[in-house]
């Protein structure tokens, strides 16, 4: 069993310990110490980062109360080592996890729903609940959570005795046995939890819902808190300033600028379609012939117009219509239709001598061909 120093002091960042074992594994070495400040991957949260004797700790895991540190270089068993955790990373995780307790406590208080899934990575976090509530209701809880944060409520962690625990009402994702660590947010939440937390809600700073969606039989809430929320806000403001500069919109008028830009783009697309269709009409009209087979060859960037060209050809040719889009260097997309000729047989013949991918039925075939236009047209 590894002594968990973070249980007693969530703010500690440096410690001395004895190496109990060091074993070589596939990707480096796994080291067990008699005690550690490194919080392992547990409770849906990523592990602490840091070093042991200056060697980077790549991962931290726990099994049967034994914490294993993974390193790229070995540490000799029996030696004393100095461990240092990255407290910037640790504190951000503490802010995020403490914020989750506040919000989940409010969800349970107002709706009676449990947090049945929690994942905290190094840049985001999700909370899954076993019942449905609306985004508008979630925003009300967000406001209430921030009010609790501002009030500076205390957050404590302790191991109650078996007798005390039996009398205690607390949230837990699963049945627990043995000593149970209880984290209490004053007047807000009581929950079984193994992770380090801040001492006071004011240290969280801010809680913000990033996204909200229906998930399985409940809802999933993605959120940020503390410095990670601030960093996200700074990034979004930077992006907004770049958008403002790019579309020449004043600060505060970016949305109207984007709407206008989208309207202009749609108008251009509509005009582009009109012009392309007009080009097809004129091309087909200028190439009309007596044959019952109509063939139209279009530029490579006209692939979205193939169906229109086919419908236009059918107004003039009864036996068969063929539309090719591309060039001899890059190949062609093709689409052919006929009510009287078996196009599936033609496609089969083409596959015998041309590099072609396609399929269809007797009345219509389509695909791509890598060949010269003269070779392709010869089959039709």
- HSE (side-chain half, CA atoms, 13 Å) at 106: 20
What's the pLDDT band for 290 if we cut at 50, 70, 90? confident
Please check the confidence at residue 88 and state whether its pLDDT lies above 90: yes
The answer to whether residues 61 and 68 touch, using CB atoms and an 8 Å cutoff, is: yes
Could you give the domains of the chain? Answer: 3-85 (2.40.30.130), 90-234 (3.30.980.10), 287-377 (3.10.310.30)
- Supply the pLDDT for residue 292: 83
The answer to whether residues 155 and 184 touch, using CB atoms and an 8 Å cutoff, is: yes
Q: pLDDT of 4-18, one tens digit each?
A: 999 999 999 999 999
What's the pLDDT band for 233 if we cut at 50, 70, 90? very high
Q: Residue 95 gets which letter from DSSP? A: H
- Supply the pLDDT for residue 178: 80
Give the C-alpha separation, 371 to 86, whole Å: 61
Please check the confidence at residue 223 and state whether its pLDDT lies above 90: yes
What integer is the mean pLDDT of 187-199?
96
Q: pLDDT of 58-75, one tens digit each?
A: 999 999 999 999 999 999
Q: Exposure of 87 by Cβ count < 10 A (0-12 exposed, 13-18 middle, 19+ buried)?
A: middle
3-state secondary structure of 130: coil
Please check the confidence at residue 289 and state whether its pLDDT lies above 90: no
Between strands 35-36 and 3-4, the pairing is: parallel
* Rounded to 5°, angle at Cα 157 from 155 and 161: 140
Strands (E), 100-239: 115-120, 125-129, 155-158, 182-185, 189-192, 207-215, 218-225
Percent of the chain with pLDDT over 90: 87
- Supply the pLDDT for residue 177: 74
Q: pLDDT of 245-266, one tens digit each?
A: 998 999 889 999 999 989 988 9
Please check the confidence at residue 116 and state whether its pLDDT lies above 80: yes
CA-to-CA separations, 309 to 87, 272, 282, 315, 345, in angstroms, rounded: 65, 15, 11, 10, 23
User: Could you tell me the maximum CA-CA distance found in the chain, to the nearest angstrom?
Assistant: 99
The distance in angstroms from the start CA to the end CA of the chain is 79
Helix, strand, coil shares of the chain, percent, nearest 5, are 35, 35, 30
The answer to whether residues 7 and 157 touch, using CB atoms and an 8 Å cutoff, is: yes
Q: Residue 119 phi/psi, 5° resolution?
A: -135, 120
- pTM equals 0.77
Where b means 16+ CB within 10 Å and e means fewer, 55-82 reads bebebbebeeeebbbbbeeebeeeeebe
- Supply the pLDDT for residue 283: 94
Please check the confidence at residue 57 and state whether its pLDDT lies above 90: yes
| Residues near 100 by beta carbon (within 8 Å), at least 6 away in sequence | 115, 118, 120, 125, 127, 223
Question: Which of 19-28, 190-199, 288-297 has the least mean pLDDT?
Answer: 288-297
What integer is the mean pLDDT of 73-90?
97
Torsion of CA 130, 133, 137, 140, to 10 degrees: 0
What integer is the mean pLDDT of 50-63?
97
Strands (E), the chain: 3-4, 14-25, 28-33, 35-36, 50-52, 55-63, 66-71, 80-85, 115-120, 125-129, 155-158, 182-185, 189-192, 207-215, 218-225, 293-298, 320-327, 331-337, 355-361, 364-370
Please check the confidence at residue 348 and state whether its pLDDT lies above 90: yes
- Supply the pLDDT for residue 31: 98
Nearest CA-CA partner of 58 in 44, 45, 48: 48
Q: pLDDT of 154-183, one tens digit each?
A: 999 999 998 999 899 999 987 777 889 999
């Amino acid at each position: 069993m590894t002594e968990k120093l973070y249980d007693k002091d969530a703010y500690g960042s440096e410690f001395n310990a004895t190496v109990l074992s060091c074993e070589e594994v596939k990707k480096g070495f796994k080291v067990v110490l008699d005690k550690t400040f490194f919080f392992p991957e547990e409770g849906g949260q990523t592990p602490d980062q840091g070093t042991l004797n200056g060697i980077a700790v790549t991962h931290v895991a726990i099994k049967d109360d034994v914490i294993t540190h993974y390193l790229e270089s070995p540490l000799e068993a029996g030696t004393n080592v100095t461990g240092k955790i990255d407290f910037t990373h640790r504190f951000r995780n503490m802010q995020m996890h403490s914020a989750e307790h506040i919000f989940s406590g409010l969800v349970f208080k107002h709706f009676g729903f449990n947090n049945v899934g929690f994942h905290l990575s190094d840049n985001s976090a999700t909370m899954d609940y076993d019942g449905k509530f609306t985004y508008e209701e979630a925003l009300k809880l967000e406001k209430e959570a921030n009010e609790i944060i501002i009030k500076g409520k205390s957050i404590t962690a302790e191991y109650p005795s078996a007798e005390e625990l039996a009398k205690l009402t607390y949230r837990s994702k699963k049945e627990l046995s043995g000593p149970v660590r209880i984290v209490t947010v004053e007047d807000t939440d009581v929950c079984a939890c193994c992770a380090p937390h801040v001492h006071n809600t004011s240290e969280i700073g801010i809680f913000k819902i990033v996204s909200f969606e229906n998930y399985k039989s409940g809802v999933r809430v993605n959120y940020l808190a503390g410095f990670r929320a601030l960093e996200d806000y700074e990034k979004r403001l930077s992006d907004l300033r770049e958008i403002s500069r790019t579309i020449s919109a004043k600060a505060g008028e970016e949305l109207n600028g984007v709407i206008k830009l989208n309207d202009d783009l749609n108008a251009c697309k509509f005009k582009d379609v009109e012009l392309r269709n007009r080009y097809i009409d004129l091309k087909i009209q200028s190439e009309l012939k007596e044959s019952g087979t109509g063939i139209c060859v279009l530029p490579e960037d006209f692939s979205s117009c193939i169906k229109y060209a086919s419908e236009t050809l059918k107004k003039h040719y009864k036996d068969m219509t063929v539309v090719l889009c591309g060039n001899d260097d890059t190949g062609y997309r093709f689409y052919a239709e006929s009510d009287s000729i078996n196009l599936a047989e033609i496609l089969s013949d083409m596959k015998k001598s041309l590099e072609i991918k396609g399929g269809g039925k007797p009345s219509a075939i389509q695909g791509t061909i890598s060949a010269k236009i003269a070779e392709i047209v010869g089959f039709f």
